[in-house]
Amino acid sequence: MKLSQGVEWGLHCAALLALAPPGMTVRREGLAGHYALPVTYLAKHLQAMARAGVLHAVTGPRGGYRLARPPGDITVLDVVEAIEGPAPPFVCQEIRQRGTGAVPPESCRRPCAIDALMTQADRAWRDSLRAVTIADLVDRYPPGLRERNAELVAKAAS
């Protein structure tokens, strides 16, 4: 499975926003500048996260973004699905019913072994990402990074 770079960007931005003073927003330019990202491309991901209820977008001269919920209530899976969508990465095409090796439809009432395995793997992957919150990610920062990022985001907050 390959995820877009937007997932990385979204997770880093969400973790950074978790450090913003309560009620404060951070402009997209501040988030982009913090990680040296292109503002317009990052903005698309931030908007997707806002549509999904991960971020709250505030318009106007003091506008920007903040987390829509406490960081302990936003999972990594929430961000991944906001950026990539909720669709599973594998969709069975039922090729076992095609070609010279076709199996009759009545023999295909249950998912094939490949579909079952891929569904099980997707479920495990999602359960793993659902178990980690943005607060957990911030707690995993190396010593000093949390404080440094908190200072920088406080300066960038509007």
Count of domains for the chain: 1
For residue 100, being part of any structural domain is answered with no
- pLDDT category of residue 62 using cuts at 50, 70 and 90: confident
For residue 149, being part of any structural domain is answered with yes
pLDDT over threshold 90, residue 15: yes
- Predicted confidence at residue 11, as pLDDT, reads 98
For residue 26, being part of any structural domain is answered with yes
For residue 122, being part of any structural domain is answered with no
Tell me the pLDDT tens digit for each residue of 130-155: 999 999 999 999 989 989 998 888 87
Q: List the one residue out of 26, 5, 4, 23 whose CA is nearest residue 15.
A: 26
DSSP code for 21: P
- Predicted confidence at residue 158, as pLDDT, reads 55
pTM, 2 dp: 0.89
* CATH number, residue 149: 1.10.10.10
For residue 63, being part of any structural domain is answered with yes
CB 62 within 8 A of CB 26: no
DSSP code for 142: P
Q: What is the mean pLDDT of residues 14-35?
A: 93
SS3 annotation, 70-102: CHHHCEHHHHHHHHHCCCCCCCCCCHHHCCCCC
- Distances in Å between the alpha carbon of 5 and those of 9, 18, 22, 74, 80? 6, 20, 28, 19, 11
Neighbours of 131 (CB within 10 A): 11
Q: Residue 115 — φ and ψ, nearest 5°?
A: -60, -45
CB 27 within 8 A of CB 156: yes
- pLDDT category of residue 73 using cuts at 50, 70 and 90: very high
DSSP H or E segment with residue 126: helix 113-130
Structural domain boundaries, residue 54? 5-86+134-156
Residue 47 CA to residue 25 CA, distance in Å, equals 14
- pLDDT category of residue 68 using cuts at 50, 70 and 90: very high
For residue 101, being part of any structural domain is answered with no
Q: What percent of the chain has pLDDT over 70?
A: 99
Q: Which residue has the tokens 């669709």?
A: 87
Tell me the pLDDT tens digit for each residue of 101-112: 888 888 888 889
DSSP bridge partners of 55: 67
For residue 59, being part of any structural domain is answered with yes
For residue 142, being part of any structural domain is answered with yes
Tell me, what amino acid is at 42? L
